[in-house]
Amino acid sequence: MPEGRLYIGNRRYSSWSMRGWLAVHLAELDVEEVLIHFSRPGPTEAIGALSPNGLVPYLEHRGARVWESLAVCEYSAEIRPSLWPSDPLARAHARAISAEMHAGFLGLRQSMWMNLGRDFAGLGRTPEALADVARIEAMWAETRQRFGAGGPFLFGAAFTAADAMYAPVVTRFLTWRPEIGPDTRDYCAAVRAHPLVNAWYEAAAAEPTEWLLPDYENAT
């Protein structure tokens, strides 16, 4: 019998669910997965009825109740400490960039939302979104230079909680295709090829067409 439940939203759109799901799978928590597809106009009532903040991801595990994707990463890392880098300086950096993701990049999130099934190349390029893209590229480059020896991920060979926090940004770069440098492209390719990220994409592609939301399917 599973030791709890992980509630997520549509895989095609729910970037925060993807982060929580990746962390829970990296830690190999034994949980039943419950997908509540979004209803519009939101917020989705069924999510509001069970999750303390009315949002997904929401994890229940061995009596713990955990909401907010970054808290789900931290909880998963308590069970499987290798979710964060072992070196204290690298770990501090991983936490800092993960917190920056959790708290920010509104320009990118608003103009280049997650949609795993579309090609919006060239669209969404507001000044705010492009400023976020530039900051993220610089941060990834600095992180990989300082801590990523052996690559291909931010902290080297292992896919960490920080990579989980940025995986939905990678999907945005693949969907909206802003101008990015070769190192960023390499990192995006490595994240996209990770088996868990690939599994998430495949499950997203299998979602029923009735779950498509016009607001997220049309871009200018």
Ligand X SMILES: N[C@@H](CCC(=O)N[C@@H](CS)C(=O)NCC(=O)O)C(=O)O
Cα–Cα distance for residue pair 154/143, rounded to 1 Å:
6
- Binder of ligand X out of 7, 11, 12, 14 (CB under 6 A): 14
Contact in structure between 190 and 94 (CB atoms under 8 Å): no
- Binder of ligand X out of 5, 80, 102, 177 (CB under 6 A): 102
Cα–Cα distance for residue pair 91/101, rounded to 1 Å:
15
Q: What is the DSSP letter of 109?
A: H
Cα–Cα distance for residue pair 90/70, rounded to 1 Å:
17
Cα–Cα distance for residue pair 135/100, rounded to 1 Å:
11
Q: Which residue number, 47 or 112, has a Cβ lying nearer to ligand X?
A: 47
Q: Which residue number, 148 or 168, has a Cβ lying nearer to ligand X?
A: 168
Determine if 69 is a binding residue for ligand X (CB under 6 A): yes
Q: What is the DSSP letter of 116?
A: T
Determine if 9 is a binding residue for ligand X (CB under 6 A): yes
Q: How far apart are CB 53 and ligand X at their closest, in Å?
A: 7
Cα–Cα distance for residue pair 212/210, rounded to 1 Å:
6
Determine if 16 is a binding residue for ligand X (CB under 6 A): yes
Cα–Cα distance for residue pair 59/22, rounded to 1 Å:
12
Q: How far apart are CB 79 and ligand X at their closest, in Å?
A: 18
Q: What is the DSSP letter of 35?
A: E
- Binder of ligand X out of 7, 11, 12, 15 (CB under 6 A): 15
Q: How far apart are CB 179 and ligand X at their closest, in Å?
A: 26
Neighbours of 58 (CB within 10 A): 25
**Listed ranges 8-16, 125-133, 154-162, 187-195: which one lies at the site for ligand X (CB under 6 A):** 8-16
**Total residues at interface with ligand X (CB under 6 A):** 16
Q: How far apart are CB 154 and ligand X at their closest, in Å?
A: 19
Q: Which of residues 22-61 bind ligand X (CB under 6 A)?
A: 38, 42-44, 47, 55-57
Cα–Cα distance for residue pair 125/132, rounded to 1 Å:
11
List contacts with ligand X (CB under 6 A).
9, 14-17, 38, 42-44, 47, 55-57, 68-69, 102
